[in-house]
Amino acid sequence: MRTTKLATLGMASILALQPAALPAQALSPDQQRFFGLYKELVETNTTLSVGSCTQAAAQIATRLKAAGYADADIVPFSVPDHPREGGLVAMLRGSDAALKPMLLLAHLDVVEAKREDWVRDPFTLIEEDGYYYARGTVDDKAMAAVWADSMIRFKTEGYRPKRTIKLALTCGEETTFAWNGAQWLAKNKPDLIAAEFVLNEGGGGRLDAQGKRQVLAMQVGEKAAQNYTFAATNPGGHSSQPVPDNAIYELADAVEAVRGHEFPVKFTDTTRAFFAATAKSMPGPIATAITQLLANPADVAADKIVSQDKTFHSTLRTTCVATLLNAGHAENALPQRATANINCRIFPGETVEATLAKLQELAGPKVKVTINQPVRPTAIPTPLDPKILGPATTLAARHFPGVPVVPLMSTGATDGIFFQAIGIPVYGVPGFFIDSDFNGVHGLNERIRVKSLYDGRAYLHDLVKVYAG
């Protein structure tokens, strides 16, 4: 899960009072079996630097085989150049060949974590004060464990779905320059992962400081993440004789131009539905501004009011921001080269190339703008399909009564974009509630509430059965 996902829920809106969460109960035998899988997965280091997704996938495969899956229904994959970054695809065959399969997607890799920075060992699952602590407890091993656990439960219970259920556990989601298993599958094995729709990370729920459930979200679409390089070059010279023609100044002017530029407001069906629901629970001036902006995306005054919330601002448009700078070669020399990385989150339907053209226009003729590899696919708006949103909402009312479910477009990025690119709609399903501080995801001391994990497991298991018939 790169940058923001559930963070898109981090605004003071759409709140619903809910009784405080009960303390975690003793685990049932069924939950204990799940915990064993979850603990093994979390404690298997899958960082890019020293970990192995291939090992984690093999451990899941062993559990699937023990549950009764045939070798033909479990397909491990990797490539020679990246032997530790493999994954697996597994299949539970359905009874109705007329129904297209569904695909459960999760990534096994996690963000780097240094022991000296953490209070606890990041690769030892520790239960403390009602939380499980470790790297990956949320992102994304909670979902990977739940999907694998559901596949095991289906098999051991003798459940025969109408719709074939596929599971894809991949590597490379957390690191832009890593080999990406989801991308490789979409490009090289499209028949293996062919499905009517994908259930992925990106949705979820938000808790307040007292542990009360506030809102559930179904992610319906996401932006495309793309990096660009700004480069200014110059012959340089001695710093004792400065001249106006300076690579650092030219780069600074270009970066400042990016800072001052606002891409135009746009809406998808998802973001229209999101803002329409949000307006109903916001204070008068903001609700009025949202309504005006929905009616006229070019309303600058309304945009200024709504965009004071950073999440709203990012949901409304493409955004680009400077994230890295590098300049000069000696402290007593005029710079010969100055570069900046510009990280863009591109609105669905807008292209990498069109964004490049706008950035080059902003940078001016003295700064060259190039697209960094890898180049992400164009984000495709995901349909607000009632066959997907309806069951998720109905089931949520049973599992989490009184909590509203809203569609949202992620301002971050997931591996779902690779499946969207080959025509498979992807939905980030609700289920796991996290705290307003984002539970240390991508940061220090990542954690998940014990109750949230098991409540989410129960909801997601039932949701898969509903979709599978």
Same domain, 362 and 395: no
Task: Kindly state whether residue 115 falls inside one of the protein's structural domains.
Answer: yes
Task: Kindly state whether residue 172 falls inside one of the protein's structural domains.
Answer: yes
Same domain, 300 and 354: no
Return the higher-pLDDT residue of 184 and 12.
184
Same domain, 24 and 120: yes
Side by side, which strands form the sheet with 337-346?
Answer: 319-327, 337-346, 224-233, 368-371
Same domain, 213 and 299: no
Task: Kindly state whether residue 128 falls inside one of the protein's structural domains.
Answer: yes
Same domain, 298 and 385: no
Half-sphere exposure of 234 (CA within 13 A, CB side): 26
Write down the pLDDT at residue 19: 34
Same domain, 312 and 436: no
Same domain, 303 and 231: no
Mean pLDDT of the chain: 93
Q: Is the pLDDT of residue 10 over 50?
A: no
Same domain, 181 and 326: no
Rounded CA-CA distance 120/132 in Å is 11
Task: Kindly state whether residue 1 falls inside one of the protein's structural domains.
Answer: no
Same domain, 311 and 401: no
Task: Kindly state whether residue 340 falls inside one of the protein's structural domains.
Answer: yes
Same domain, 455 and 360: no
Same domain, 158 and 10: yes
- Burial per residue of 210-243, b for 16 or more beta-carbon CB atoms within 10 angstroms, e otherwise: ebbbbbbbbbbbbbbbbbbbbbbbbebeeeeeee
Write down the pLDDT at residue 8: 41
pLDDT digits (tens, 9 = 90+) for 16-73: 333 333 344 589 999 999 999 999 999 999 999 999 999 999 999 999 999 999 999 9
- Domain end (from 356, 378, 400): 378
Instruction: Give residue 406's domain range.
Output: 6-222+380-468
Q: Is the pLDDT of residue 405 over 50?
A: yes
* DSSP string covering 50-113: T--HHHHHHHHHHHHHHHT--GGGEEEEEETTEEEEEEEEEEE--S-TTSPPEEEEEE------
Same domain, 15 and 125: yes
Predicted model pTM: 0.89
H-type alpha helices, 103-140: none
| CATH code of the domain containing 353 | 3.30.70.360
**327, 339 Cβ separation under 8 angstroms:** yes
Question: Peptide bond before 374: cis, by omega within 30 degrees of 0?
Answer: yes
Least confident of 286-295, 326-335, 390-399, 437-446: 437-446
Average pLDDT of the segment spanning 333-344: 98
Say if strands 213-222 and 405-410 run parallel, antiparallel, or are unpaired.
Answer: parallel
Binning pLDDT at 50, 70 and 90, where does residue 177 land? confident
Average pLDDT of the segment spanning 420-441: 94
- Domain end (from 348, 363, 378): 378
Write down the pLDDT at residue 64: 98
**8, 315 Cβ separation under 8 angstroms:** yes
- Domain end (from 295, 317, 339): 317
Task: Kindly state whether residue 41 falls inside one of the protein's structural domains.
Answer: yes
Write down the pLDDT at residue 1: 60
Return the higher-pLDDT residue of 11 and 153.
153
Write down the pLDDT at residue 209: 87
| CATH code of the domain containing 74 | 3.40.630.10
Number of separate domains in the chain: 3
Write down the pLDDT at residue 25: 56
Q: Is the pLDDT of residue 83 over 90?
A: yes
